[in-house]
Structure 1
Amino acid sequence: MNIFGIKSKICFDKGSIEYLNTIKNKRVCIVTDPFMLKSGAADKITNIFKANKVEYEIFSEIRPDPPVETVSAGVNKMRTFKPDVIVALGGGSSIDATKSIILFTVKILNASGDNYNKPLFIAIPTTSGTGSEVTSFSVITMGTTKFPLSDDEIVPDIAIVDADFVKTVPPQITADTAMDVLTHAIEAYVSTNNSDYTDALCEKVVKLVFEYLLKAYKDGNDMVAREKLHNASCMAGMAFTNANLGINHSIAHTIGANFHIPHGRSNAIILPYIIKYNANLESIKESETAKKYAELSKILGLPSSSSKEGVNSLIYAIKILMKETNIPMSLKEANVDKNELFNKIQSMANTALKDNCTVTNPRMPNEEELIRLFKELYGE
């Protein structure tokens, strides 16, 4: 039996931040990063709470690829303040960290007999990429290893998808995060857990990214493009929280942990190679996965008279997007040291093999195949 569910209430369109005016007579903790305070983005939230005389505190120690130490500090903040509402403001790092903070705080306090109810969880994304505002996934870092967590209890209750929060995102981050969205959609589309419901979302997301990424990249003030990409990010999150992902993300997790390449950029670099691997065009029997990739090409109006042509058209179109947005085509172009990569390649392949995303990849790799993929990703 398949189950499709969307837990989060989604507030979208310009000005949807006004939803926060419904929060009254509550203790609120805002979880964010230092840049959100410095840039004034957090003021949009605090001004509303001040006007409504809402008691709030701010935890602003979030940093990229949130380490377990940051989560621990957030848990200590929560145990002291015990908020009724938590508002996560930021990109995937802020929202992911908040998920882990909530999960561990509730478990710790309840284990100590404190009987603390999970706070209302509101997520406000400031990048159009992770879709974390509607997913049950969180990724935290310990050393050079990223640990994906999955628990229905950490899905935000409210997602505020307000494009006003992304209109100042720089072009390169716009491109990196949008390519993350595209990867989410394509991986969920061919996942072994895909369904008619997730497929419909993925098809729409792919169309939106191809139509609006370059517009938002070239003109950050194009609010129609910004809004469409922001919606696409959220929709992709709905799809993959139900269908899961694949080895594109498994590989990206370990590359990010070891070489600190932004997650969306890592996914973009990897994507053409994974489509080729999963399609397995060299196989005597045409794969269902190749047919699905070709279906995306048809939806985009790309040449697809056969599955092979459709797969190659999709790969070519993705590479054009990458070239137009100055995304590296290989790990070499991303300035990864070849010797360091090859010294770590076996352990990285093993880590990717054990990643939770690998289990729903349409073609199950072995360690040797992953090592070969890492070598191809380096480029020459």
Structure 2
Amino acid sequence: LEAYVSVLASEFSDGQALQALKLLKENLPASYHEGSKNPVARERVHSAATIAGIAFANAFLGVCHSMAHKLGSQFHIPHGLANALLICNVIRYNANDNPTKQTAFSQYDRPQARRRYAEIADHLGLSAPGDHTAAKIEKLLAWLESIKAELGIPKSIREAGVQEADFLAHVDKLSEDAFDDQCTGANPRYPLVSELRQLLLASFYGEAFAEQ
């Protein structure tokens, strides 16, 4: 997901990112539920992880990983889980054609994240003919929420076991450190520290991120 909307995405990484997502959509639930009884699904999930790694090794990542690095380090949350707790709100944040700040590269000279997320929904067969971009993004978010529920992923950082007082004591530092993370520069929307704080707070309480 992050590799496909990254400002460093290219024709070389796009196909790998989309193929990894398709393999995960088709095989991750079976691999999770059936385990060693379904070696084909397990193999395809491992392949998807590797293909995704090739994609983001070339296109890099974004603020979901920036925040997940700091969240995991501070509260000992496994890295994949930390990303899962944040990804839907990061999509809501990035899917904005008029961001506060925009990262600009030659191949990404204007906001394109909304269109790119809609393309992911199309590729995964989530959208219907006639759907507008906003509807496609909502269907992508709905699919992500449903697969997280199926895999038993908590709905919020708080549900993952982080105490509110502990989180609030660290959220300012988490936001500042996430801003300085190496992944932030490739995010399609260049964040303010205050916006990262809003994302973290919304994700802690299990709320959908909304612009303030």
Report the Cα offset of residue 214 of structure 1. 0.4
Report the Cα offset of residue 306 of structure 1. 1.1
Q: Percent identity?
A: 36
Give the number of the structure whose alpha-carbon radius of gyration is greater. Answer: 1
Paired residue for 2:56, among 240, 255, 259? 240
The aligned counterpart of 1:331 is: 157
Q: Is the 8 A contact 2:97 2:112 kept in 1?
A: no
Q: Is the 8 A contact 1:281 1:308 kept in 2?
A: no
**Could you tell me how far apart the structure 2 residues matched to 1:377 and 1:281 are?**
22
**Could you tell me how far apart the structure 1 residues matched to 2:182 and 2:22 are?**
27
Paired residue for 1:357, among 180, 183, 195? 183
**Could you tell me how far apart the structure 2 residues matched to 1:321 and 1:201 are?**
21
Give the unaligned 5+ runs of structure 2. 100-109, 207-212
Structure 2 letter corresponding to 1:255: L
Q: Is the 8 A contact 1:273 1:377 kept in 2?
A: yes
Q: Is the 8 A contact 2:98 2:111 kept in 1?
A: no
Q: Deviations over 1:59-91 (max 9, x none)?
A: xxxxxxxxxxxxxxxxxxxxxxxxxxxxxxxxx
The aligned counterpart of 1:132 is: none
More strand by share: 1
Answer 1 or 2: higher relative contact order, Cα 8 Å, separation at least 6: 2
The aligned counterpart of 2:42 is: 226
Q: Deviations over 1:113-158 (max 9, x none)?
A: xxxxxxxxxxxxxxxxxxxxxxxxxxxxxxxxxxxxxxxxxxxxxx
**Could you tell me how far apart the structure 1 residues matched to 2:96 and 2:161 are?**
29
1:314 aligns with 2:140: yes
The aligned counterpart of 1:293 is: 117
The aligned counterpart of 1:302 is: 126
Q: Which runs of 4+ in 1 moved over 4 A?
A: none
**Could you tell me how far apart the structure 2 residues matched to 1:294 and 1:203 are?**
12
Segment of structure 1 superposing worse, 272-281 or 321-330: 272-281
Report the Cα offset of residue 332 of structure 1. 1.2
Give the unaligned 5+ runs of structure 1. 1-185
**Could you tell me how far apart the structure 2 residues matched to 1:248 and 1:309 are?**
22
More helix by share: 2
Structure 1 letter corresponding to 2:6: S
The aligned counterpart of 1:267 is: 83
**Could you tell me how far apart the structure 2 residues matched to 1:341 and 1:288 are?**
33
Q: Is the 8 A contact 2:96 2:114 kept in 1?
A: yes
Name the TM-score, length of structure 1 as normaliser. 0.49
Structure 1 letter corresponding to 2:160: A
Report the Cα offset of residue 303 of structure 1. 2.3
Report the Cα offset of residue 288 of structure 1. 1.4
Structure 1 letter corresponding to 2:57: T
Q: For 1:191-202, what aligned pairs fall within 5 Å after superposition?
A: 191-202=6-17
Task: Report how many residues are paired.
Answer: 193
The aligned counterpart of 1:41 is: none
Name the TM-score, length of structure 2 as normaliser. 0.88
Paired residue for 2:25, among 210, 216, 238? 210
SS at match of 1:327: coil
Q: Is the 8 A contact 2:126 2:139 kept in 1?
A: yes
Report the Cα offset of residue 300 of structure 1. 1.2
**C-alpha RMSD over aligned residues:** 1.5
SS at match of 1:220: helix
The aligned counterpart of 2:94 is: 278
**Could you tell me how far apart the structure 1 residues matched to 2:190 and 2:137 are?**
19
Structure 2 letter corresponding to 1:303: S
Q: Is the 8 A contact 2:111 2:188 kept in 1?
A: no
Q: Is the 8 A contact 1:244 1:360 kept in 2?
A: yes
